[in-house]
Amino acid sequence: MIIGVDLGGTNIRAGLIQGGEVLQSISHKLTNKHSLDATLEQIIAVIEPLVSEEVEGIGIGVPSIVDVDNGVVFDVVNIPSWKKVELKKILEEQFHKPVFVNNDVNCFALGEHQFGAAQPFDSFVAISVGTGLGTAIVINRELYLGVNCGAGEIGYFPYLDKNLEYYSSSSFFDIHDTTAEELFYDAQEGKPKALQVWQEYGHHLGNVLKVVLYAYAPQAVLLGGSISNAYKYFEESMYLSMDDFMYPSLLKQVKVIHSKTENIALLGAAALVPVKALV
């Protein structure tokens, strides 16, 4: 058995995994993000109930750049206290199990390639939209990490008066004095204002996809993350904003897929333990 952990900017989840199935999972809301000790205590508290002699290792995805070889996490944007954290060392000393650390969106891509919608593709880009905007790149069935998992950080590309992430993640909904969750429920009730905001969001996300297509020309783009749960409300405007893409023949060949694989972040994190890379 393996423990997979997904550290997000909002929540921490851990799951006990065997044979590609999540046997048990625990989730806590991440609090006191300005305290490194407090956040580490929360991570330990989520993992600890799952640890047993049968557990072979722990894989953890984090929303930032990572020195994969040494398991050191740097500069987590949505957790201000995490500047340089020797996470592998800390967790191995705590649990006496091998620990493997990677970027959370890389884990999402890894999980989808092994267990989900990306299995048919040799090269694809995974995009996760939630608290932030994250991207993972798979080329010829292998994750392309760059230095310290720094490849694919397209969210920081300049866009309008901010950057792509600002208009394509949870911060976009702050502009409208609401949250993605509230707008999702309002859209389900057919409220015009909510539907209009989702269309506006789709326009911005379509521009993100154009950047991905120009940069990587992948076989597929996989959309995941909490905001993607509202996919049907922004899908149309997302595609409309891509109408001016310069290479229509390429656009026709690229498949845009909404990830629906349950617990994919945990499965991807757990997959770090035996392989640390796509095979």
- 276 assigned to some structural domain: no
Same domain, 34 and 151: no
Distance of CA 72 to the CA centre of its chain: 18
Together in a domain, 218 and 134: yes
* Same domain for 220 and 162: yes
Pairing of strands 65-67, 57-62: unpaired
Q: Per the domain annotation, does 96 fall within a domain?
A: yes
Q: What is the pLDDT of residue 116?
A: 87
Same domain as 92, residue 35: yes
- Same domain, yes or no: 56 and 88: yes
Name the domain count of the chain.
2
| CATH number of 225's domain | 3.30.420.40
- Per-residue pLDDT, averaged over 160-183, amounts to 96
Q: Which amino acid is at 5?
A: V
Alpha helices in the chain (DSSP H): 36-47, 87-95, 104-115, 164-168, 171-175, 180-188, 192-216, 231-240, 248-253, 264-270
What is the model's pTM? 0.88
Q: How far is CA 250 from CA 15, 103, 122, 216, 246, in A?
A: 39, 29, 16, 11, 9
CA distance 272 to 60: 8
Instruction: Dump pLDDT digits (tens) for 239-257.
Output: 999 999 999 999 999 999 9
Q: Are residues 180 and 93 in the same domain?
A: no
- 161 and 94 together in one domain: no
Question: Which residues constitute the domain of residue 199?
Answer: 119-258
Domain match, 130 and 68 both: no
Write out pLDDT tens, residues 20-35.
889 999 999 888 899 9
Q: How far apart are the first and last CA of the chain?
A: 20
CA distances from 150 to 43, 65, 170, 273 (A): 23, 6, 21, 21
- Regarding whether 170 and 53 lie in a shared domain, the answer is no
Give the pLDDT band (50/70/90) at residue 277.
very low
- DSSP 8-state secondary structure symbol assigned to residue 176: T
Asked, for residue 135, whether it belongs to a domain, the answer is yes
Which structure tokens are listed for 124?
A: 């694809």
Residues 265, 261: Cα–Cα separation, whole Å: 9
Q: Look at residue 123 and tell me if it is in a domain.
A: yes
CA dihedral 43→45→46→47, nearest 10 degrees, is 90
On the question of pLDDT at 82 being above 80, the answer is yes
**Confidence category of residue 231, pLDDT binned at 50, 70, 90:** very high
Mean pLDDT score of the chain, rounded to an integer? Answer: 93
